[in-house]
Chain A
Amino acid sequence: MTKPVLIIGGGPAGLSAAHAVAAAGRKAVLVEKEDRLGGAPILQGYAKLVPSHEWAKDAIGGMVDRVAGNANVTVHTGAQVQSFDGTPGAFTATLKDGTTIDADTAILATGFTHFDSLNKPEWGFGTYPDVVSTVQVEQMISSGQGIRCPSDGRVPDRVAILLCVGSRDRQIGREWCSKICCTVSANIAMEIRELSPKTNVYIYYMDIRTFGLYEGEYYWGSQEEAKVKYVKARIAEVTSDGKRLLVKGEDTLVKRPIAIPFDMVVHAIGMDPNVDNMTLGSVFGVELNKYGYIDKKSTYVTMAETSRPGVFVAGSATGPETIDDSIAQGAAAAIAAMNFGAGAPAQAAE
Chain B
Amino acid sequence: MPIHEKSLIRPENLVEHEELVIDGVDVSGHWSTFIKPRTIFDYNEAMQDEIAALPGGENIHRCWQCGSCTNACTVNAVNPEFNPRYWIYLIRLGMEEELLRDKDILWQCVSCNKCTYACPRDVVPEAVMKATAHWMELKGHTPKSNSTHFDEEFASQVIATGKIEESRVIRGFFRKTGQPLNQPWLAALITGLVRRFPLGYLMRMGWATVFRPKTRGWSASRRAIREYVHEREAENRKALGLDATGGH
| Residue ranges of A at the interface with B (Cβ–Cβ < 8 Å) | 158, 200, 220, 223-224, 227, 229, 231, 251, 253-261
Contacts and interface: CB of A to CB of B under 8 A. Distances in A.
Contact of B41 (A158, A227, A260): A260
A139 B2 CA distance: 50
Given A254-B95, A255-B5, A256-B98, A200 B64 contact: no
A192 B57 CA distance: 25
B65 A253 contact: yes
Contact of A231 (B5, B39, B93): B93
A227 B92 CA distance: 9
Interface residues of B, number: 22
B38 A257 contact: yes
Contacts of B98: 254, 256
Given A254-B95, A254-B98, A260 B37 contact: no
A254 B90 contact: yes
- Residue with the highest number of chain B CB atoms closer than 10 Å, among A200, A231, A254, A261: A254
A223 B42 contact: no
Nearest to B49: A227
A229 B62 CA distance: 10
Nearest to B45: A200
Contacts of A229: 92-93
B43 interface: yes
B114 interface: no
B43 A260 contact: yes
B62 A254 contact: no
Nearest to A261: B42
Interface in B173-188: none
Contacts of B65: 253
B171 to A, nearest CB: 44
Contact of B39 (A223, A224, A258): A258
B150 interface: no
Contact of B89 (A227, A253, A259, A261): A253
B64 A223 contact: yes
Contacts of B37: 257
Interface string B26-49: 000000000001111111010010
7 contacts: A227-B61, A229-B93, A251-B93, A254-B89, A256-B98, A258-B39, A261-B42
B75 to A, nearest CB: 20
Contact of B40 (A158, A223, A251): A251
Contacts of B21: none
Contacts of A224: 61-62
Contacts of B8: 255
Contact of A258 (B5, B40, B90): B40
B111 to A, nearest CB: 25
Contacts of A227: 48, 61
A66 to B, nearest CB: 41
A73 B8 CA distance: 66
Nearest to A248: B39
A13 B40 CA distance: 46
Given A223-B62, A227-B61, A256 B39 contact: yes
Contacts of A231: 93
A158 B198 CA distance: 70
